[in-house]
Amino acid sequence: MQIAQMTHERLAEMLGALKLTSMRDQLDRLLGEAARQELTLPDALAMLCERELGRRHERRIEMGLSIAKFPAVRELAVFDYKAQPSLDSKQIKDLTAGRWIGLGETVLLLGPPGVGKTHLAIGLGRAAVSAGYSVLFTQATTLVAGLAKAHAEGRLDDKLGQLAKPKLLIIDELGYLPFDPDAAHLFFQLVSRRYERGSMMITSNRAVGEWGTVFGDPVVATAILDRLLHHSHVITIRGDSYRLKEKRRSGLVRGVGSVGTPGGADGGGEADR
Ligand code: ADP
Ligand code: MG
């Protein structure tokens, strides 16, 4: 399909005005492809539309991933389930479809340091973005510091509103540091705001029974847990740190035993966390 320069320019202009930018930017290549394959006009048009839609979908995912602010790239595809026998791989795979997010449910990922909680949280978060959900990933300490700052500056309501927007809020590493009473109360307000409106995924090295200590107040902890556990999937990983296992395998460390179960004495102080 040889097109005159004038027609080409007009086409590019019109495609731009229609915001069909992928079609516009790849016009020569796409038309060349259509000609090579001797496509009929409807088939050629369908091919062009498919490319535009495909690129839009990719862009939406790229945008969603950047908005989510994941701290690293961790894919579920490379997660080694054999290394974590206490984990039900089917349960994780079911969660990747994101139905639980549509229903506003909660996922709690519990276990000692290094067992893959953050990896799974990022992987499930990325799957949620691919499924079209808005996601925000944050560390518990950053989250609470942000809430406290907003509170001190008299804009707590705005901040809570902002944190209530994403369909899925992922809070990583709850329990590594205990909350002061004000922080616990701010966290409670966040949970209440999102309750039955948006999903949350929380990772913690503390068993749920120890959250009273994490929040420094058993009454607030109960109120928080009451809401979080109402529609929830609790996944407890009982196993060895994957990092230590890797190091042991390569002979870097010797004789380091299991790092314990959630709430064990390990406290989560691995340097490369
Ligand atoms: P946690 O958040 O439970 O402390 P991480 O998710 O940070 O643990 O895991 C520690 C490191 O080990 C990460 O680099 C992670 O990608 C890797 N890892 C952990 N478990 C697995 C696994 N089962 N398969 C592959 N990589 C894993
Ligand atoms: Mg982690």
Q: Kindly give the number of the ligand 1 atom that is closest to the alpha carbon of 113.
A: 4
79 Cβ inside 6 Å of ligand 1: yes
Distance CA 192, CA 215 (A): 15
Residue 24 Cβ < 6 Å to ligand 1? no
> Diameter of the chain by CA atoms?
76
Q: Does domain 69-249 have CATH number 3.40.50.300?
A: yes
Give SS3 for 177. coil
What are the φ/ψ torsions at residue 65 (nearest 5 degrees)? -70, -35
* pLDDT tens sequence across 54-76: 999 999 999 999 999 999 999 99
Atom of ligand 1 nearest to the CA of 203: 2
Distance 113 CA to ligand 1 centre (A): 9
Closest CA to 143 of 190, 102, 193: 190
Q: What is the pLDDT of the chain when averaged over all its residues?
A: 89
Q: What is the pLDDT of residue 240?
A: 84
Burial 230-243 (b: 16+ CB within 10 A, else e): eebeebebbbbbbb
Tell me how far CA of residue 100 lies from CA of 125, 247, 272, in angstroms: 12, 36, 31
**CB-based burial of residue 215 (10 Å sphere; 0-12 exposed, 13-18 middle, 19+ buried)?**
buried
Task: Quote the pLDDT of residue 168.
Answer: 98
| Spatial contact of 31 and 51, defined as CB atoms under 8 Å apart | no
pLDDT at site 57: 94
Query: Among all ligands shown, which has an atom nearest to the Cα of 137?
Result: 2
175 lines ligand 1 (CB under 6 A): no
Is the pLDDT reported for residue 264 higher than 60? no
Strand partners, 106: 200, 232
Is there an atom of ligand 1 within 6 Å of 113 CB? yes
- Domain range list for the chain: 3-66, 69-249
User: Which residue minimizes the CA distance to atom 27 of ligand 1?
Assistant: 116
Looking at the CA of 89, name the nearest ligand. 1
Question: What does the pLDDT look like over 91-150, one tens digit per residue?
Answer: 999 999 999 999 999 999 999 999 999 999 999 999 999 999 999 999 999 999 999 999
Rounded Cα distance between 222 and 65, Å, is 33
Of 63, 195, 203, 198, nearest in space to 121 by CA = 203
Could you tell me the pTM of the whole model? 0.85
How far CA 72 is from CA of 44, 61, 69, 121, in Å, comes to 40, 16, 9, 11
* Residues β-bridged to residue 234: 108
pLDDT value of position 269: 38
The amino acid sitting at 184 is A
Structure letter (DSSP) for residue 96: H
CA end-to-end distance (rounded Å), the chain: 57
Which pLDDT belongs to residue 272? Answer: 39
159 neighbors 146 (Cβ within 8 angstroms): yes
Phi, psi at 199, each rounded to 5°:
-85, 155
Q: Ligand 1 in contact with 242 (CB < 6 A)?
A: yes
